[in-house]
Chains A and B, each alone.
Chain A
Amino acid sequence: MSFDPAITLFSCHYTSQQSCAEGGKELEQLGFPAGIDLVRVPCTGKLQVTTLLKAFEDGADGVYVVGCPEDGCHNVKGSARAAKRVAAVRDALEELGVEGERVQMYHLPRGLHPEFVAKGKEMDSRIRGLGPSPF
């Protein structure tokens, strides 16, 4: 079944800082999937498990977090903490009988690098493959 997934991306200010350039137009031009709703946070370490679950409750088919490289986080351990919380949400989804791949963590360099767009496309195609959220 083909569908347009709704995906929520939580990205730290540092990793996504250029995503706002020209009002987000640059991202669009680079082919960043339109169904990804980007939420910028000061640090991904601030994200709580409940924040990620709320995105699913609000209708997201997939949720992912983009934070600094693990060994180069602006706030030292912020992205490592985020990765732990993403893992906790993945375990919880699996407990509920839902594919854990619907939630992902990526560690990317700061600024708008091609990887930022590539991971967006990867997430979009993963969720298309999984189909709509069972929630």
Chain B
Amino acid sequence: MIVAERKPMGEIIEMVQDCKKILVLACRGCVTVCSAGGEREAEILSSLIRLGMKKAGKSIEVATASLVRQCDREYIDEIDQFKDDGYDAIVSTACGVGVNFISNLRKDTMVYPALNTTFFGGSAKQGEWTEQCAGCGDCVLHLTGGLCPVARCAKSLMNGPCGGSVDGTCEIHSDVECVWQSIHDRLGSFDKSAQMEVIAPIRDWSSSGHGGPRKVVREDLTV
């Protein structure tokens, strides 16, 4: 899922300081699962905005609503139901995709981000999320035992480990596993250590966003 975290309240209060009426809009997709921007978090944020504005001597009306997702046109269209409510802005608790989508599709609607969108990750332990995939557009997981060197090696090395790997730990921090050690161990456990002898060629990173914003078109699905 896309993992995100709420922005500091000071930053959010600053965004809405001139607003009289706002809509805090939750997303029931990834950010609900990572407890950053679902309905519950939107209610908390609404309350904090009211309190923060009151402390600053300002009054604000804050309503809360949610969309199934904020990354599809059909759901963004549901925003029109709030058109006559006179909101000065939407504060979206979706990831950056949601904020962009509202901006793209609703020219007259000011939208502010309530979250910092951080990474594609998973949760192996309640309350903890870790980065697992960088969305690089040219997956190498079939060569690396299913463990991603792009997202999980601090240097995104394609032929690791580097000289800083010590006892399975990355040189950047003792809390960080050296994913290249894990890749070696895992391939070894499947009797595929020989794969580590193959030197990965210099990589073309254009699929990773270095070639500009990316787009996927599926002709079989377009109408």
**Interfacial residues, chain A to chain B (CB-CB below 8 A):** 48-50, 53-54, 56-57, 92, 95-98, 134-135
Contacts and interface: CB of A to CB of B under 8 A. Distances in A.
A92 B46 CA distance: 12
A49 B54 CA distance: 19
A57 B55 contact: no
Contacts of B54: 135
A45 B40 CA distance: 16
Nearest to A54: B47
A80 to B, nearest CB: 13
Interface in B33-72: 40, 43-44, 47-48, 50-52, 54-55
B55 A92 contact: no
B162 interface: no
B8 A53 contact: no
Nearest to B52: A96
A49 B51 contact: no
A135 B52 CA distance: 8
A57 B52 contact: no
Contact of B10 (A50, A95, A98, A134): A95
Given A50-B43, A53-B44, 14 more contacts: A49-B44, A50-B40, A50-B47, A53-B51, A57-B47, A57-B50, A92-B44, A95-B8, A95-B9, A95-B10, A95-B48, A96-B55, A134-B55, A135-B55
Nearest to A84: B127
Nearest to A48: B40
Nearest to B50: A57
From A48, A49, A95, A98, name the one whose CB has the most chain B CB atoms within 10 angstroms.
A95
A96 B51 CA distance: 8
Contacts of A96: 9, 13, 48, 51-52, 55
11 contacts: A50-B40, A50-B43, A50-B44, A53-B47, A53-B48, A54-B47, A92-B44, A95-B10, A96-B48, A96-B51, A135-B51
A97 B47 contact: no
A92 B51 CA distance: 10
A97 B10 CA distance: 9
B51 A56 contact: yes
Nearest to A98: B55
A59 to B, nearest CB: 11
Task: Count chain A CB atoms within 10 A of each CB in B8, B9, B10, B51 and give the residue with the most.
Answer: B51
Contacts of A54: 47
A17 B187 CA distance: 60
Interface string B1-21: 000000011100100000000
Nearest to B49: A96
